[in-house]
Every structure is written in C-alpha cells, then in structure tokens.
Amino acid sequence: MYQEPNFETMQNSNTFTPQSTPDMHEPPRAIRTKIKPIVPSKYSGNRNIAIIDSWISSVNAYFFLSNAQPPYIYYSLISLLEGEAGVWFRFNYPESLASTLTWETVRHALRLYFIPVNYIRQLQDHYTTLRQVSSVNEYTTQFSETVMQLAANQIMIPDSMLIHQYIHGLKPATRLQVEIENPQSLTEAMRIAGTYDTIRFTRKTISPRYETTSRSPFYSSRYNDTRGEPMQLDNLQLDDSENKNLEMNLFNSKSSKNIKKLNKLTIEERQHLRKLGACFKCRQPGHMVRECPTNLTSAGTSISSKNLNRQ
C-alpha cells in the first residue's frame, strides 16, 4: 500500500555536517537548504484517487520545505481546504486542536474519508473497459495513469497482459496496424499506435490542391470544363437599325439558287429545334418560320416592312 513519508525523520535527515579541517576554529553547525516552497492548490473534496494523491503529495512537499510545525499546519490547512473538504476539516478538527494537530493525522483521516472504499475495484473495472474514443495520445495517457494507480496499490499486471489490453482498447484501424507490427513491449506498442494515428490525422487535415491537368493526383473530369467560352452577350446588344442592316446584308448575300433544299423534319428534330428556338425551315436560330428569309421568291428582294417593324 501507499506509504506516507514521516516528516520528523525526513527533516532530521535533511541536514549535513561539513568535514572539519585543521583551519576551522568553530564547531560545525547544521545547515539547511533553503528552497522557497510552492503553495499547493486548494482541495474541495473531489473523490478521484488521482486528484487526492496528487494534492497530498504537493502538501507533503510544501510542509517539508517550509519546516511547518503546529499551529502553522492547522491554519495552512484551513486555507487549503474548501467546499466539502473544508466543512469536513472544521467539523472534525476545531481550532482548539491547532497547537497539537499534525499533518500525518489529517492526511490519514482525509484518505479514509474521501477515497471510496471500493476504489481498487473501480480502478480494475476502468482498466478492463478503457477504450480509445479520441486520439491515441489521450488514450495512452488514461491507460498509463490507470496502470500506475494499480501499481501504487500493489496490483502488478504482467507485461504481456498490459500489451494485450492496450492494443485491445485501440480503434479498429489502429489496432490492426499495431497487431501487424507485433510489438514486444508496452512502450513499443504505444509508439507504433501514436505514429500511425499522427500520420493518419495529418493526412486528413491537408487540403487537396485541385488542378485541371490529368497529371495531377486530384484530377477529376468534373473540373474539366469542355463547354467552350461563354457567350459575350454585351457585345451582341445592337440597336434596331444595326439589326435590320445585318439581316438585309445576310439575306442579300445569298441567292435563291444557293439555298439548299432540306428534308422534312422528323418528330425528334422538331423537338430539338424547338428547344434551341430555331426555325423549322432553314434550321437557323433567331427567328420563326413565318419570319424566315428564305420565304422571299427571289434573291435581292428586301425584307418586308411588316417583318422589319416586328423585329
């Protein structure tokens, strides 16, 4: 079980006597190393065994380095205990005991009261049910803390069982990678799992650079736009006079002899031309059959004024 230090023995052993020399005229004196102690954090009654042990260790160091003696110990604990822990301390140790109360007495009673009776079984259950739910580093930290707490309570687990349990708690993909490597120690298994998880996570966070060349590893046909250059509609906006002159020149440049006779449209061709907004007679877009320039009887005849006014 966990053995608490004895301050009286440690304080007496924390002195040294310099070796005497023929030139020394004064007797040697005990010299104490002066180190400024760090004030521990406050404890509010949390029943987590790791938090309790960590807080007790910090108070052990604080009282030892400060050479604390009653009643200084009592009033220091008053300021370090709060919440449920503060109520428990004031109820069990009134101020009348300040001149005789020692830290060893309070420490033993605090462990008995705040550490759960079945905390060892809870540690064992946590050890067997621990699983990776986030990163490998966090899982490794939790696993290591649990194993060390069990070892502090004289529960030793063979290395082969530790390796098996650690690998069993990993995520499926990471577990498979570690099993393939077949580690022979817990440290090696943790290293393999951490390396694999880091590489896998880093690749997920890298944003791909999309390129339109077929040599790029991120090339996709959906990024290869083969629809041609979009129409410049602003350049096609002409006034009425320019539209009339353009249509007249286009018609006059064609002779009725050069007009090719087209075959009769099928149903599919009609539907296609209707979607394009093209003429059923000359198959050209931009006008309907009744406005088709090929309706004129001879070449060189101007477009009727009726049709021109309709444009």
Q: What is the CA radius of gyration of the chain?
A: 46
For the ranges 180-189, 265-274, 295-304, the lowest mean pLDDT is seen at: 295-304
Kindly give, in sequence order, each residue whose CB lies less than 8 Å from that of residue 213, ignoring residues fewer than 6 positions away. Answer: 219
Q: What is the dihedral of CA 59, 64, 66, 67, to 10 degrees?
A: 130
* Chain centroid offset of residue 222 CA: 31
Check residue 153 and give its pLDDT. Answer: 84
Between 49-65 and 103-114, two packed helices, what is the crossing angle to 10 degrees? 170
pLDDT value, residue 105: 96
Question: Is the model more confident about 262 or about 266?
Answer: 266
CA 83 to mean position of chain CA atoms? 34
The H or E element containing residue 129 is helix 119-129
For residue 9, pLDDT beyond 70: no
Q: What is the DSSP letter of 63?
A: H
85: pLDDT strictly greater than 90: yes
Model pLDDT for residues 49-76, shown as the tens digit of each residue: 889 989 999 999 999 999 999 999 999 9
Closest CA to 80 of 88, 207, 5, 17: 88
Report the percent of the chain where pLDDT is more than 90: 45
Q: What is the pLDDT of residues 111-136, one digit of tens each?
A: 999 998 888 898 899 999 999 999 99
- What length does the chain have? 311
Identify any residues that bridge with 31 across adjacent strands, giving them in sequence order: 16
Q: What is the DSSP letter of 246?
A: H
| Greater pLDDT, 96 or 222 | 96
**Token pair in block for residue 148:** 């060390």
